[in-house]
Amino acid sequence: MSNHVPNTTVQRLPVYLRCLVQEQSLRVPVANSVRIAEMAGTNAAQVRKDLSYLGEYGIRGIGYDVDGLVRHLTRWLGLEHVRKAAIVGYGRLGSALLGYGGFQDRGFSLAAVFDTDPEKIGTAAGSGLVVEPLADFAAAVERDALEIVVLTVPASVAQAVTDTVVAAGIKAILNFAPTKLLVPADVAVRQADVAAELQILSFHLSSGGE
């Protein structure tokens, strides 16, 4: 057991979990590192090293017990209980994410939606949710035990909205706005900039595909 898992490893854990859950649904009882690697798109040594940071969960000569490893990964990722997330910014992307049914399966529930536009506040947002004013955010964090904010507001207001949700005690933000957020050191931010991803692809197109 170790107390430091490298960042690169952390980013692969959700992939491993997804692959193992798939094996589980196929009733495969055991998976070895070669199998996990080919499903996850990496190599066997990487899989073994990554998993060894978490503990000794494999069986020599056999592989990894799928159910057991799913349980361990779920625990390491903090997904034993469903985490509540809030959509902040009820635009097209916010409503698309709300409508996407794939989060429940993977440990998350979108439990509230916020906006500042008076036109939007009070409207029904699917899943029985109603768009609430951002001014009520802090109260809602208490009420719904919100832990994660999915930020789908325009870049121009992203920092101000971030300051509001951080003041309300939020420690994890998935930011779809194309802007760097300044947050205290104990707040985790992941950037999800779709246009930047396209630009990276464009680079690869330009450099002859190698």
Partner DNA sequence: TGATGTGAAATGATTCACAGCA
Partner DNA sequence: TGCTGTGAATCATTTCACATCA
Judged by the rule CB under 8 A, the positions of this chain that interact with a copy of itself are: 10-11, 13-15, 17-18, 39-41, 76-79, 83, 85, 92-93, 95-97, 99-100, 102-103, 105-108, 147-148, 150, 171-174, 178-180, 186-188, 190, 192-207, 209-210
Extract the tokens encoding 92: 């097209």
Between helices 7-25 and 33-40, what is the axis angle to 10°? 100
DSSP-derived pairing of the beta strands 83-88 and 108-115: parallel
User: Using the rule CB under 7 A, is 16 a contact of DNA?
Assistant: no
User: Using the rule CB under 7 A, is 179 a contact of DNA?
Assistant: no
- CB of 133 within 8 A of CB of 116? yes
Number of residues located near DNA, criterion CB under 7 A: 25
DSSP codes joined into one string, 90-128:
-SHHHHHHHH-TTSGGGTEEEEEEEES-TTTTT-B-STT
Which positions from 52 to 91 touch DNA by CB under 7 A, shown as an x/- string? x---xxxxxxxxx---------------------------
For residue 27, the minimal CB distance to DNA (Å) is: 19
44 binds, among DNA, a copy of itself, none (CB under 5 to 8 A by kind): DNA
User: Using the rule CB under 7 A, is 48 a contact of DNA?
Assistant: yes
Which lies closer to a copy of itself via its Cβ, residue 39 or residue 157?
39
Edge-to-edge strand list for the sheet holding 131-133: 131-133, 108-115, 83-88, 146-151, 172-175, 188-191
In which region does residue 113 sit, left (phi positive, over 0), alpha (psi from -120 to 50) or beta (all else)?
A: beta
**174: part of which helix (H) or strand (E)?**
strand 172-175
Which lies closer to a copy of itself via its Cβ, residue 135 or residue 155?
155
For residue 58, the minimal CB distance to DNA (Å) is: 3
13 binds, among a copy of itself, DNA, none (CB under 5 to 8 A by kind): a copy of itself
CA angle 106/28/69 to nearest 5° reads: 50
Q: What residue ranges bind DNA (CB under 7 A)?
A: 6-9, 32-34, 42-46, 48-49, 51-52, 56-64
